[in-house]
Structure 1
Amino acid sequence: MPAYHSTFLGESERTVGNIVLLPIHTTYRGPSYPPSQEYDIIEETLDLFRANSFFKNFDIKGPADRLLIYGILAQARYFLKRNHS
């Protein structure tokens, strides 16, 4: 069974430091363009955290997958830090 990849792989990619800038839902103005759909990268990392954390290998198919991995690792670090306190 393969790991789940990002749904944002086919979108126009604007990268900064090898990380893609994807839209997020916020009221603040920033370097990312406004989202065209209701599903953003933060919701995707929350949805795919449990499924992708069980896989030993993950093939990166694009910059959106790299951002997805960083989001999953940030969530795992948050959960570990929260459990220790």
Structure 2
Amino acid sequence: MSNPVSRRTTYAERNDALVFASKEFLRWMISQSTEPMLPRDTTPDQYLRQVSTLTRSQRRAMKPDQLALINWARAVAAAQSGEVEE
């Protein structure tokens, strides 16, 4: 008896799954936040929009751990908008 071959996912499907998982992580992160600048009712899409409005000088002034999260969120936003290609 042979095992059925699973269908390979396309790049777009993998990208969509990654964006979905990232947004779920953002949703969890926001719900755990104690930052006054990040209210708990903020949606992942609102957070991604907030991050995209930061200027380069604002990003350079951040601590490394904050900057890593901001850069990750910017990458998620780019993947969602289709700016990232295979």
Please say which structure displays the higher CA radius of gyration: 2
Q: Which has the higher strand share?
A: 1
TM-score (norm 2): 0.36
Higher helix share: 2
Q: Which has the higher contact order (CA 8 A, sep 6+)?
A: 1
